[in-house]
Every structure is written in structure tokens, then in C-alpha cells.
Amino acid sequence: MKETIEKLVEIFGPSGHEDEIRDLIRRIIEKEKLAGGKGDEVRVDAMGNLIVLKKGSGGGRKVMLAAHMDEIGVVVTHVDKKGFARFGRVGGLRPLTLMGGRVRFANGTIGVIGLEKLDDRSQTPGLEKFYIDVGATDKESCPLRVGDLGGFIRPFAEAGRRLVSKAMDDRIGCAVLLQTLRDLKDSPHDVYFVFTVQEEVGLRGATTSGYGVAPDLALSIDVTTTGDTPEAHPMAVSLGDGPAIKVKDGGMLAHPGVKNWLIETAEAAEIPYQLEVLEGGTTDAMAIQTSRAGVPAGCVSIPCRYVHSPSEMVDYADVTNAVKLLAAALSKPIELK
């Protein structure tokens, strides 16, 4: 699974440019014949979501699992006469993590993020103080144009049992979906594994795919922040203590029956888990939950340090236990209590 994670996180794919990551995921599915059974289906919808149907044995529910393919990035807003590019956000950039970072653009251009001289070093600079240096000497020699999108460059690394890379949010969720697709041998449910687009800019892929799939029940698989670093904002989620079952976040309340189903499954299978209350931010589950006439929805979260930075950190045991939880939950009939 680590090999799959490394491939997924290192590929280019800011919101709106998910083609490379979608093609990689599809190649893995086709090469390993993960959706080759009777009634199985692999397709791409009009928004660019990759939808993989794994047909069940019958008598179950229509379940949607969603993980987003896109990552945060930058978009060029202006190129000055000296060839330096100014940029805006694609998703939730954190300015404190930007200085000296490298970005790659869709046309292959590599740039370094620089920072203007600050009059007051005690203040956190806004994005207007940053620029991208691509080695150009003037505007004409700069290969970037207004509207070009870029993503961060940062190689995958292991730090003990922890995995570190850019784009863990949410390529780690994509890896969990792929491994669950491998491990789920027998299920009564029709399970839709949906790799969504444009989550970081408004849950857009989940909005359309949730409407199109029209599931009976849905789970998003995404990262969540932790409270286990020095002087962190208090939060009862830590790396290494198991996947987090969402209770609430900034955009939704998890369906109580879905939450209880996941808790009961984890306890019966002796899978470690945590309960998550996230004060800000949300996931694809929010969009799916309010699709059509409403969908019972929840979220299995992977605890992650340094979210929305070029070096996001997860614990490998949390990742593998998330797969075990999903496989166990989907292997039997679902009763929401």
C-alpha cells in the first residue's frame, strides 16, 4: 500500500487539473482488475469524477465512498515586468508554509516562492507579499500566464511509522479507497468508489456525483487535523490512535445511525478508533448529505498533522486501520440505529 501512496501523493493535481491523478488511479484499477466482475463499472462523469461500481451479491444498499483527488495549489494572477508571478489561492493555502517552497505548473514550469521585505516582521504576511520566481528576466521570457495553476513539489518520505508528503489531503483517502477495493471480497452492497474533483474549492465533484449516484448511504474518506503537537488547538484526535469517526465538523453533523454503525463495527472487529469533532472545515460528505432528498452520511477521517502545508503527516497504522474498518463495515448488512 505504501507504494501506491507514494505514487498518488507525488503526482500533479491541483483543483481543476485532476487528469494525471485520475488517469493513474484508473490504470491501477484496470491493471489489477479491481472492477472486473459482473455488473462492475468504471466511468468518468462530466465533472471529471472517477466512479467505480463494485456490484454486491444482492439485497444490500447502494453505498457511496468518496475521496477527493485534487490538492491545494496556486493560480497566477499577474506577471510583472521583471518576470515575477503573483498568485492567488486554489484551496486553503497557509502563508506561513510558503516561503522557499517549489511549485510546478501544468506546462512543466518550476518556480520558487519568494517573499518581499517586510516592514513588520512580527506580522504574518498576506499572499500579496509573495511571488513566484521561475528564472525569467522579464515579462516576455516568463512562461507563465494569468490563470496558470500550480501545485507544490515535495517528495514522499517516511519518518518512522509516519508518512510525510504534500497532498496527503486527500490522496491518502484515494489510497484507502483503492485498498478497500482490493480487500472487499464479498459484500451484499453495491459500492460506488468515487474519486472526486474540486473538493478544495467547494465540494464541487461531490455535489454532482452525489446527485448522479443517488446513494442510500455515503461516507467520505478524508484527513482531519490533530491536537497532539506542541501548544496545538485542543482536539481529541492524535496520530496513531486509529481512524477518526466523524461526529461533527464545520459543515455537517454526521448521521447518528452512520456514526453508530461505524463505532459498532470498529468495536466488534477490535479496530482502534477515535471520535472527531472538527470546529472548522468540512468534507465531501457535506455535499452528498444534502443531495436530492437527503442522504445518511458520515466520514472516516485519517488524522493528519500540518494539513494544507507542503509536508502533511499521517500514521501508517491509522491508514491501514481505516481500510480494515471500511472492509468490515461493508462486508455485512447495514442497520442504522
Domain regions of the chain by residue span: 2-71+166-330, 73-152
Q: Which CATH architecture has domain 73-152?
A: Beta Barrel (2.40)
Catalytic residue chosen out of the listed positions 6, 199, 276, 312: 199
Report the share of the chain in percent with pLDDT over 90: 93
What stretches in the chain show pLDDT beneath 50?
Answer: none
CA distance 299 to 283: 8
pLDDT of residue 121: 76
CA distance 32 to 93: 35
pLDDT of residue 123: 82
pLDDT of residue 120: 79
- Dihedral through CA 279, CA 284, CA 285, CA 289, nearest 10? 120
Strand partners of residue 14: 71
Helices (H), the chain: 2-10, 19-31, 168-183, 204-213, 256-268, 284-289, 316-330
**Whole-prediction pTM:** 0.95
Are residues 186 and 55 in contact, defined by beta-carbon separation less than 8 angstroms?
no
Give tens-digit pLDDT for 147-170.
999 999 999 999 999 999 999 999
CATH of 2-71+166-330, one of 3.30.1330.60, 3.40.630.10, 1.10.1040.10, 3.30.1490.100: 3.40.630.10
Instruction: Give yes or no: 199 in active site.
Output: yes
Give tens-digit pLDDT for 268-306.
999 999 999 999 999 999 999 999 999 999 999 999 999
